[in-house]
Structure 1
């Protein structure tokens, strides 16, 4: 059984380990993962500033995500799933969870690196539209948006 629960202090070390595994392809391609992905302190900070959730399969932590919701825009800041659990519908379950947190006519936004073709295909398959390219110095990302109906 797959669940989404609010993350707590006891989850943070495992969430760091999961991110290190989930973002290994990013490290292989560009030398690093997203900011703070490998930092316990960053996870604690994220939990204090954002809505942070853990994804569990049969009571085992297998991923997580966090977001900020304000002024009719839900910004999905990070979503990660352990590699051995990817492709099992958990990402889609998270997006359904997020859609339930916004009102019709509001939007969900996220950024994904330009090199992350798999993530781009996933979000586009879920109805997200690529809005623009964002430059961050050495790396670029695409901004994606979904209007919730």
Structure 2
């Protein structure tokens, strides 16, 4: 059985999946002192008023150092026309849920994947006009 707390989401270790995401999204690598420590995948609506964080991943050795907050500051300032942001996270990822709520995201619904039975929480953050 997969240990979900230690393994990444589907595609995280697939070169083909990563390449496809680089072509279809805004894909950023996260660097610290010249070391690749993670990445973030962002999708924008056609009018650039809504952003969706498809993935954010940070090497466990670099977590809890403020890099996640830096990523979101970068996104919110780098895409100033995006007033609504969304993301999702697995129900078992309690630390992610705490982090997103700390940033101001609000859980909007729970989804269960029919194939795997895994539950995910969707979150949303809306900035005032």
Q: Using the alignment, how far apart are the partners of 2:56 and 2:38 within structure 1?
A: 8
TM-score normalised by length of structure 2: 0.88
Show the counterpart of 1:85.
62
Show the counterpart of 1:44.
19
SS of alignment partner, residue 123 of structure 1: helix
Residue 148 of structure 1: how far off its partner (Å)? 2.4
Deviation string, structure 1 residues 49-99 (Cα, Å, up to 9, x no partner): 000000100111011011101142101000000001000000000111111
Are the equivalent residues in 2 in contact too, given 1:102–1:148 (CA < 8 A)? no
Show the counterpart of 1:16.
none
What is the number of residues matched between the two proteins?
122
Q: Which stretches of structure 1, 4 residues or more, deviate above 6 A after TM superposition? A: none
Residue 31 of structure 1: how far off its partner (Å)? 8.9
Structure 1 portions without partners, runs of 5+: 1-26
Show the counterpart of 2:37.
62
**As a proportion of its length, which structure holds more helix?**
1
Are the equivalent residues in 2 in contact too, given 1:65–1:78 (CA < 8 A)? yes
Q: Using the alignment, how far apart are the partners of 2:23 and 2:102 within structure 1?
A: 32
Q: 1:121 to 1:31 in 2, by over 3 A?
A: closer
RMSD: 1.7
| In the alignment, structure 1 residue 134 sits paired with structure 2 residue 82 | no
Q: Using the alignment, how far apart are the partners of 1:37 and 1:121 within structure 2?
A: 22
TM-score normalised by length of structure 1: 0.76
Structure 2 portions without partners, runs of 5+: none
